[in-house]
Amino acid sequence: MRPRLAIVGTVGMLSLSSLGSLILMSAAIQNAGRFGDLYSLLLLTNLLGLAAFSGLIAMNVRDLVLQLRRRAPGARLTLRMLSIFVTLSVLPICVLYGFSMNFLMRGVDSWFDVHIDHALSDALELSRSALDLRMREVLSQTENLAEEISAGAPQNAVLDLGALRDPGNSVVTETWDPGEGDLNLLRRRIGAEELLVVTVQGRLLQSSNSGTDLVPNIPPAPILLQVKQGHSYIGLEPIGNAGLYMRVAVALPDTNVDRPARVLQALFPVAEGMNALASNVESAHAKYQELVYLRRKLKLSFAMTLTLVLLSSIATAVWAAFYSARRLTAPISDLAAGTAAVAAGNYTMTLPVNTSDDVGFLVSSFNDMTRRIAVARSEVDTQHRYVNTLLSQLSSGVLALDETGHIKTLNDAGRRILDLGDVVITGMRVSELAEKREHLAPFVECLSAHLEAGDERWQQESQIFIRTGRRALMCRGSHLPLDVDTEAGHVVVFDDVTALIQGQRDAAWSEVARRLAHEIKNPLTPIQLSAERLRQKYLSKMAPPDAETLDRLTTTIVQQVETMKAMVNTFSDYARMPAINQERTDLNKMILAVVDLYRSANPEARFELDFATDLPPISVDASRLRQVFNNLVKNALEASSDRTKAVITLSTRRLHTETGDYLTISILDRGDGIPPEMLTNIFEPYVTSKTRGTGLGLAIVKKIIEEHGGVVTLENDEGGGARATIRLPLVADPKAQRSPA
């Protein structure tokens, strides 16, 4: 609200100042005396105000265009309302402007009338004519006076006023130089206010003045020049504030050629009444002429002022239209934006309720609606999170499908069991799952068969092949019936029973081995003793050919019995492993010792060692673990087709995971690898790709590693060959953690 109030306040102030300056400018135009000095400032103020408004409008237009381009909610409604407001406000203003301008121009024109113009010119001419008559009189008087003076009056003629009054007096024969007193008399006689005698160069010789102004009004050089050229001067001049005067300058002829030429100047005041009338006429004519001259400028100024008023009004109206349109459409725009937000899933949207009218009620209702939806959504989310938490905590995989076989959800355990990695399967058809992840084809076939058959409840074991080998899955499916609150679909729960089955097999094999050892080992000793006894008793008594045969046969029996004993012992060891004897052991050193043993026996083979330097000592049964490494290195050497070119890579690493710290030991050979069909049960007894041996080597390895709480895997390497990986937990007591992640 505050920014809006600030904008409205600023614009209001701008409008008021603009209006005020327009009024003042109008007053200044009509009467230059009022605010005339401020005219330029006012004009500038108005132009700046107009520029400010134009800037505001430009910003609004730009915002509106941007909103229209990005199809912002309410933008088109704003444009429509703006168009209506602008049309309703600007059109009448323009019409009013047109008529006002027309009236104004006509009004200004009506001030001027050709008759008045002529009348004033005639009055001025009449004044001039009236004055001309008088001017001719005073010219004649002055010229006569000059002739009198030039005719030559005696030096004492000043006192002979009668002679002076008689122009025809021929007694005076020489040029007369009047004194100051004489000049005063002459001035009074002709009625002049000032009488001067000056040289043509402008030097004052004599003067007579009736007033208090002691400074004689010397005729300007152009007048003196004119008189010198033989032309008398008569002119009407306004002198200071004293009004109009008639200036007469005539040559003063002189018989004395040695003296400089002289000029007689007389100033005659215009009669007071005539002066006032002439001044009035002159003033009125000047004023009217000024008005006529300013007519076009005046119209221009009026037009400019009126145009400024028009533009300011339009600018204010357009801005007000923008403001009003925005205010009116703001709640609707908010509603549109709110609806879009709700549609996009944002249920926390709350709109401001600024008005108490119908729109305000609508906004309140919208807010109530979103609040309720948000509460319901929150409850659903809570329930959903609870179910998800439950599902994520399950060790079984839970797969939910809709009626059409599209996957709706799969819990974390399910993703882990199916080895899905980061693949997004939600929304995918079950059949597409096999296309994305080929190893899931048996699982998908199992599911599809039951879904197509429409089985209500079913259970089936399936097997998939993932990176760590074959996994056995126990799948149980149920059809979800259509309910009021839930839609129809299927749910499939599956468990990885590989370890369980393996455990059962291991147990079975242990039992077999134990029984085998027990049943076979007992008769072996009597057989061996009997064979040795036969050999000892009858060998010396028999003929050489028979003796040789007996010796060979008994020796064979004893050797085979020994072999069987060794095999039975191995079975016995596998069936009944002794308790592990823990001691702190440096695994790197242990592996190096084993490698040294095989390196001396196979000098052509190449052993590449990549040991981690940060391996801490680990509590293990050293002799049992050494047996493990012996078995694995031996297997790796045997797996290489040519032992002389065998390359065995052994590496150790320390591994930190969310479930704890581990040591990993990797033994990689570059042989032919493990046949794929053997990968699944390579660690089972009697599973071997070699022609010799008991087939218990890897089974014993697995058993020892598992007794240390570790995991051993065997897989084909992408670069060729097989890689055995052992992972041992870094804990004080290996038994404390039997099954790492």
Partner 1 sequence: MNAVRRLIALVFCLCLSAGAIARGVTITNGTASFEDAHLVISIQASIALNENVEEALDNGITLFFEAETKILRERRLWPDTQMLRASHRFALSRHALSNRYALTDLASGESRTFKTLQEALLVLGDLQRVLVSDEAVLPKPEVYLARARLRLITEELPAPMRPLVWISPSWWVSSPWYEWLIKR
Output the CA torsion sign for 27, 31, 32, 35.
Answer: negative
User: Beta strands of 481-590 (E only): which ranges?
Assistant: 489-496, 583-585
- What is the phi/psi pair of residue 545, to 5°? -65, -40
Residue 164 CB, nearest approach to partner 1 (Å): 32
Report how far residue 390's alpha carbon sits from residue 380's, in angstroms, rounded to the nearest whole number. 15
> Footprint of partner 1 on residues 429-488 (CB under 8 A)?
none
Is there a contact between 685 and 696 (Cβ–Cβ < 8 Å)? yes
Report how far residue 172's alpha carbon sits from residue 151's, in angstroms, rounded to the nearest whole number. 6
281 binds partner 1 (CB under 8 A): yes
Which is it for strands 606-610 and 647-657: parallel, antiparallel or unpaired?
parallel
Could you tell me which stretch among 11-19, 144-152, 296-304, 368-376 binds partner 1 (CB under 8 A)? 296-304
Report residue 467 CA to chain centroid gap. Answer: 46
Identify which of residues 268 and 574 has a Cβ nearer to partner 1 in the complex.
Answer: 268
Bridge-partner residues for 247, per DSSP?
235, 267
347 binds partner 1 (CB under 8 A): no
Residue 229 CB, nearest approach to partner 1 (Å): 15
Identify the CA nearest to 318 among candidates 618, 98, 85, 48.
Answer: 85
Burial class (CB in 10 A: 0-12, 13-18, 19+), 238: middle
Residue 184 CB, nearest approach to partner 1 (Å): 26
The encoded tokens of residue 87 equal 């049309």
124 binds partner 1 (CB under 8 A): yes
117 binds partner 1 (CB under 8 A): no
Helix H segments across 221-271? 221-228
90 binds partner 1 (CB under 8 A): no
Is there a contact between 639 and 722 (Cβ–Cβ < 8 Å)? yes
Binding mask 236-255 for partner 1 (x = CB under 8 A): xxxxxx--x-----------
Binding mask 562-591 for partner 1 (x = CB under 8 A): ------------------------------
297 binds partner 1 (CB under 8 A): yes
Residue 36 CB, nearest approach to partner 1 (Å): 5
235 binds partner 1 (CB under 8 A): yes
Among 14, 22, 24, 43, interactor with partner 1 by CB under 8 A: 43
696 binds partner 1 (CB under 8 A): no
Residue 104 CB, nearest approach to partner 1 (Å): 8
Residue 303 CB, nearest approach to partner 1 (Å): 4
Residue 80 CB, nearest approach to partner 1 (Å): 29
298 binds partner 1 (CB under 8 A): yes
Identify the CA nearest to 178 among candidates 190, 192, 164.
Answer: 164
Identify which of residues 288 and 683 has a Cβ nearer to partner 1 in the complex.
Answer: 288
The encoded tokens of residue 17 equal 């100042």
> Footprint of partner 1 on residues 12-41 (CB under 8 A)?
28-29, 32, 36-37, 39-40
Dihedral of CA atoms 210, 215, 220, 221 in degrees, nearest 10, equals 120
Could you tell me which stretch among 150-158, 300-308, 317-325, 582-590 binds partner 1 (CB under 8 A)? 300-308
Residue 179 CB, nearest approach to partner 1 (Å): 30
Identify which of residues 275 and 725 has a Cβ nearer to partner 1 in the complex.
Answer: 275
The encoded tokens of residue 51 equal 């520029």
Identify which of residues 223 and 446 has a Cβ nearer to partner 1 in the complex.
Answer: 223
Q: What is the largest CA-CA distance in the chain?
A: 223
Size of the site for partner 1 (CB under 8 A): 46
265 binds partner 1 (CB under 8 A): no
Identify which of residues 54 and 226 has a Cβ nearer to partner 1 in the complex.
Answer: 226
Among 72, 261, 304, 567, interactor with partner 1 by CB under 8 A: 304
Which is it for strands 711-716 and 397-402: parallel, antiparallel or unpaired?
unpaired
Report how far residue 570's alpha carbon sits from residue 589's, in angstroms, rounded to the nearest whole number. 27
The encoded tokens of residue 240 equal 């200071």
Distances (CA, A) of 231 to 84, 137, 226, 227, 677: 81, 16, 6, 5, 147
Binding interface with partner 1 (CB under 8 A): 28-29, 32, 36-37, 39-40, 43, 98, 101, 104-105, 124, 127-128, 131, 220, 222, 235-241, 244, 278-279, 281-282, 285-287, 289-290, 292-294, 297-301, 303-304, 307
